Structure 1
Amino acid sequence: MSTPVPPSSLSSLRRQLSGFDHALRTAQQLRRATGVPHYVVHGVAPLQAFRVTMRPPAWPDRWLAMVA
C-alpha cells in the first residue's frame, strides 16, 4: 500500500486540478453537455480529493454538491 501524499507537497497545478472548484466546474460542464445531473463527492485517494460522478454517492457524508 502506498503512503498518502500530503496536499502541501503537491505542485500548485496539481492542487488546483484536484480541488473542489475544479471538480464543480467539471460537473457543471458535464451537466450542460449531457443533460444528466452530476455529483461532486469526496474521493478516497489524496490525488483525487474530489470526484465527479453521475450516480448519487453510496455514502451521504461524501456528497458535497449536486449539479442538476
Structure 2
Amino acid sequence: MSPPDQSNGFSPLRKKLSSFDHALRTAQQLRGQTGVPHYVVHGVAPLQSYKVTMRPPAWPDRWLAMVA
C-alpha cells in the first residue's frame, strides 16, 4: 500500500475541505439554517483558499458565488 500523496505537504482531506465545492456546500447549509444570504469569496490567507461569509465582499474580484 502506497502512502497518500502529500507532495504539497497537506493531506488529501485538507485538499477536499479547502475546495470550492466544499465552501459552496457550506454556504448552502448555512443559508438553509439562518435564512441569510451567504457568499463564497477567495480567502486572503495562503492556507484559506475560500471563505464563506454573510457580508458582501468588499472587493468584487474576490466574489465567487452568492447563495440567496
- Normalised TM-score (structure 2): 0.85
Flag as ranges the 4+ runs of structure 1 deviating above 6 A. none
2:23 equivalent in structure 1: 23
| Unpaired stretches in structure 1, ≥5 consecutive residues | 1-6
TM-superposed deviation, 1:62: 0.1
Percent of residue pairs identical: 79
Higher Cα radius of gyration: 2
Greater fraction of residues in helix: 1
| Unpaired stretches in structure 2, ≥5 consecutive residues | 1-6
Higher relative contact order (CA 8 A, sep 6+): 1
TM-superposed deviation, 1:47: 1.8
State how many pairs are aligned. 62
SS of the aligned residue for 1:44 comes to coil
